[in-house]
Chain A
Amino acid sequence: MADIHSTFQYSTPAHRSGSSLDGMWLFLATEVLFFGALFLAWTVSRHYHAAGFAEAARHTEISLGTINTVLLVTSSLAYAAGLAFIEQGDTRRLLQCLSLTGLLGIAFVCLKLLEWHDDFYEHLFPGSGFALHGPDPGGAQIFFSFYFVGTGLHILHMLAGLGLLAWVILRAWRGAFSSRSHLAVEAVGLYWSFVDVVWLVLYPLIYVVGRPG
């Protein structure tokens, strides 16, 4: 169990878990501000480069994006189901749900890497060899710099999420969780659904807004 000097300030297990979840909620608040600044800069740049952004949006693969959205939403669903099972103490069902979440997460990452591969192939990465020469090439380049910063950060958060998920699965496998004590499952669940919400904001910004224009 954790080194005693890092929990002896708590009076009851509920006290400790309540504090830990408060900590996770606060961490998510900082992430909201972190991504918020990106979305703000994205929107302001879009206002200045409507034409360039629209043209660039037309070169994103909306099909892959939509599949990914479905994958991620179902993965959060699976996680929530797992949490419900462990609250009844059913570790076996929890393990099944968490593994499903993991698989869907890995599928998401692979699909994303595939999409990036296509983007690089089509020279859509901003810089010297940028392929698009439409009405506002500068704007298109700025779109794709936000695209790669946004999806890059999201992938990093996904990998961190998958790492945490593996840690939770390992501890569940060792029977560390019961209906009374499953703090880690709940905390990682909060983080996972947050990463899902970030994608739900990224998806329209990349694939939908300005495309039909």
Chain B
Amino acid sequence: MSHALDATAGEIEAATVRDNRDNYLTDEWTVWSWLATTDHKRIALLYFASITFFFFLGGAAAALMRFNLLTPTGAIVSPETYNRLFTLHGVVMVWFFLVPAVPVTIGNFVTPLMIGARDLAFPKVNLLSWYLFITGGAITLWALFMGGLDTGWTLYTPLSSAYAKGYVVPVAVGIFISGFSSIATGLNFIVTIHRLRAPGMTWYRMPVFLWSLYSTSVIYVLATPVLAMTLLLLAFETVFRVGVFDPALGGDPILFQHLFWFYSHPAVYIMILPGLGVVSEIIPVFARKRLFGYKFVVWCSVMIAVISFFVWGHHMFVAGTSIYSAIVFSLLSFMVAVPSAIKVFNWIGTLHKGFIHFDAPMIYALGFVGLFTMGGLTGLFLATLAADVPLHDTYFVVAHFHYIMVGGMVSAFFGGLHYWWPKITGRMYPEMWGRVAAAMIFFGFNLTFFPQFILGYLGMPRRYHSYPPEFQVLNVLSSAGSTILAVAYLMPLFYFAWSLLAGARAPANPWGATGLEWQTPSPPPVQNFTSTPVVTEDPYSYPSPEAIQMEQAETGEARPNG
């Protein structure tokens, strides 16, 4: 987008900086300095707090659901409450946790540092994005707690427009507003990556995480507006009793499904692409080896973002669309799976002949590769037309997307959190506790969701408050797993808080990683770099295995310190 322009902007004032012993945290500490900050690092922390709140809120709803499913008659909550619980769980987890998750926290913090810039392209738009997120969240929470919604996160009409007993319009307004927060974030990242890279950092010298963030932002910008319009039409139909989607008044409910899934499938790739980027950052560092097939990995992220716009029909194989369109969407769904497959093979290629360290980020990354592959493969079951017919709307689908979103994405989010924690807070987290939590999450997760694959094959439908007795044992296993998972997720809260007070001071480069963000102190100063760095070599330029082996022979220590 580089078209020469004469000087049409005001003068660029040289910024003055206070005593550079201060970092962005200790620079100033007033409520106003946080609520009106334009510093991408502080906005990342504001977002981190909001995301964590919504994650535990959604998780609490999930825990309640799992308790209710302990018995076939669903004795803990009434059907009305259970329907509102899984709708709250779906809406909060998708729109207020996972869609924003990595880009707004790690992405906001790390992007300027990785490209050697002082901030994002539009700092004020970044702050506006957070306020839109908070406003949307508040409205949705108010609606969900005042009466909630019993339509599922998919909001299908005519149930949502004519028959729903809940707060359809307020929830639609809340999600509508949070949609613009995503658009603002996506817009900011795209312009930043085009315009603010440090001298020497061409596109192929950029870290893979920024490529995946760029692809995610493209989907943010192009898919979210369609969701906004769909919700607007749904609200108009609900308020004025008009039949755009309601068949009783001449509308077409399948049109709503097309518009909803046109956004919602790209949205699931919004949720996974940042995770693919984080894992591609972590594995080379802890294998001390250049990323295998850099060009393939980065172009796979772009291809996933592009093809993701053409596969939405695979959610409607039995909804009454034509057989021909089902066949085309099935073929395209297989095509979108190929780039993911290439990425998995490249990660394993990176491990080959590396010097592998088992720090917490690496455990999460390896866990991600395993669980993402399982989740993806079950996606292939669902993309195969005749296999989706028995499996649609059963717990097989629930297991598929939890394997990819919880097993995959949440592990990647936690991995990224542990990896960049020293840079964000200037403190090291307790390594032992980090590994224990990772292992517990891995075990609790599998116990929760693997039984659901079998339930799905046996035909247990989704969104059922009660079920036939023969499914009880598998449900009890799943509920047991969810309690372990709930506890495991609480552990990082404690040891991260502990590390803020009593954690060891983090050096600038605790992991010996390449990348500009590790060439500035931890935590970084307000302007990120005392002088703008110049990039001269490829992103993951680790010494060759022979060099490390020779150095290992001398010092006996596999990782150069600092």
Identify the closest chain A residue to B221 (Cβ): A30
Does A21 interact with chain B (Cβ within 8 Å)? yes
Do A141 and B250 have beta carbons less than 8 Å apart?
Answer: yes
Say how far A132's CB is from chain B's closest CB, in angstroms.
13
Q: Which residues of A contact B462 (CB under 8 A)?
A: none
Q: Which residues of B contact A49 (CB under 8 A)?
A: 250
Do A6 and B124 have beta carbons less than 8 Å apart?
Answer: yes
Say how far A50's CB is from chain B's closest CB, in angstroms.
12
Identify the closest chain A residue to B194 (Cβ): A22
In Å, the complex CA distance between A23 and B225 comes to 16
Do B242 and A7 have beta carbons less than 8 Å apart?
Answer: no
Interface segment among B183-191, B382-390, B497-505: the answer is: B183-191
Identify the closest chain A residue to B241 (Cβ): A127
Say how far A97's CB is from chain B's closest CB, in angstroms.
17
Which of A2, A36, A127 is the one whose CB lies under 8 Å from B242?
Answer: A127
Which of B7, B12, B16, B221 is the one whose CB lies under 8 Å from A26?
Answer: B221
Q: Which residues of A contact B250 (CB under 8 A)?
A: 48-49, 52, 136, 138-139, 141-142
Beyond A5-B39, A37-B259, is A45–B222 a contact (Cβ under 8 Å)? no
Identify the closest chain B residue to A32 (Cβ): B225
Does A17 interact with chain B (Cβ within 8 Å)? yes
Chain A 177-203 against B: per-residue CB contact (8 Å), 1 yes, 0 no?
000111100100000000000000000
Chain A 1-13 against B: per-residue CB contact (8 Å), 1 yes, 0 no?
1111111111111
Taking residues whose C-beta sits less than 8 angstroms from the other chain, chain B's interface range is 35 or more
Q: Which residues of B contact A2 (CB under 8 A)?
A: 10
Say how far B551's CB is from chain A's closest CB, in angstroms.
38
Does B251 interact with chain A (Cβ within 8 Å)? yes
Which of A9, A37, A153 is the one whose CB lies under 8 Å from B118?
Answer: A9
Beyond A9-B112, A33-B222, is A142–B10 a contact (Cβ under 8 Å)? no
Chain B 107-119 against A: per-residue CB contact (8 Å), 1 yes, 0 no?
0000010000111
Chain A 121-138 against B: per-residue CB contact (8 Å), 1 yes, 0 no?
000011110000000101
Beyond A17-B8, A180-B7, A182-B8, is A41–B259 a contact (Cβ under 8 Å)? yes
Q: Which residues of B contact A33 (CB under 8 A)?
A: 222-223, 225-226
Say how far B30's CB is from chain A's closest CB, in angstroms.
15
Secondary structure dominating the interface of A: helix
In Å, the complex CA distance between A38 and B339 comes to 32
Say how far A14's CB is from chain B's closest CB, in angstroms.
5
Chain A 31-62 against B: per-residue CB contact (8 Å), 1 yes, 0 no?
10111111011001100110010000000000
In Å, the complex CA distance between A124 and B15 comes to 58
Does A20 interact with chain B (Cβ within 8 Å)? yes
Do B241 and A1 have beta carbons less than 8 Å apart?
Answer: no
Does A173 interact with chain B (Cβ within 8 Å)? no
Does A204 interact with chain B (Cβ within 8 Å)? no
Among A2, A23, A31, A44, find the residue whose CB has the most chain B CB atoms closer than 10 A.
A23
Which of A18, A27, A40 is the one whose CB lies under 8 Å from B187?
Answer: A27
Among B10, B14, B119, B194, find the residue whose CB has the most chain A CB atoms closer than 10 A.
B10
Q: Which residues of B contact A16 (CB under 8 A)?
A: 9-10, 12
Does A145 interact with chain B (Cβ within 8 Å)? yes
Chain B 1-18 against A: per-residue CB contact (8 Å), 1 yes, 0 no?
111111111111111100
Do B7 and A12 have beta carbons less than 8 Å apart?
Answer: yes
Do A14 and B15 have beta carbons less than 8 Å apart?
Answer: no
In Å, the complex CA distance between A145 and B233 comes to 9
Q: Which residues of A contact B466 (CB under 8 A)?
A: none
Identify the closest chain A residue to B528 (Cβ): A9
Do A44 and B6 have beta carbons less than 8 Å apart?
Answer: no
Which of B11, B123, B251, B259 is the one whose CB lies under 8 Å from A6?
Answer: B123
Does A159 interact with chain B (Cβ within 8 Å)? no
Does B249 interact with chain A (Cβ within 8 Å)? yes
Do A181 and B118 have beta carbons less than 8 Å apart?
Answer: no
Say how far A184's CB is from chain B's closest CB, in angstroms.
9
Does B244 interact with chain A (Cβ within 8 Å)? yes
Q: Which residues of A contact B123 (CB under 8 A)?
A: 5-6, 9
Does A25 interact with chain B (Cβ within 8 Å)? yes
Say how far B32's CB is from chain A's closest CB, in angstroms.
13
Say how far B98's CB is from chain A's closest CB, in angstroms.
21
Beyond A13-B7, A17-B9, A142-B244, is A41–B233 a contact (Cβ under 8 Å)? yes
| Chain B residues packing against A (C-beta within 8 Å) | 1-16, 38-39, 112, 117-125, 183, 187-188, 190-191, 194-196, 221-226, 228-230, 232-233, 236-237, 240-244, 249-252, 255, 259, 262, 526-527
What would 16 A/B residue contacts be, using CB atoms closer than 8 Å? A7-B10, A8-B12, A13-B9, A17-B7, A20-B122, A26-B190, A26-B191, A29-B222, A33-B222, A34-B229, A37-B229, A37-B262, A41-B233, A45-B252, A145-B244, A176-B10
Task: Give the top 5 A-B pairs by smallest Cβ distance, nearest first.
Answer: A138-B250, A8-B15, A17-B9, A34-B225, A37-B229
Known A19-B121, A44-B252, A176-B10; further 9 A-B contacts with Cβ < 8 A: A13-B11, A23-B125, A30-B222, A37-B229, A41-B255, A48-B250, A138-B250, A149-B236, A186-B8
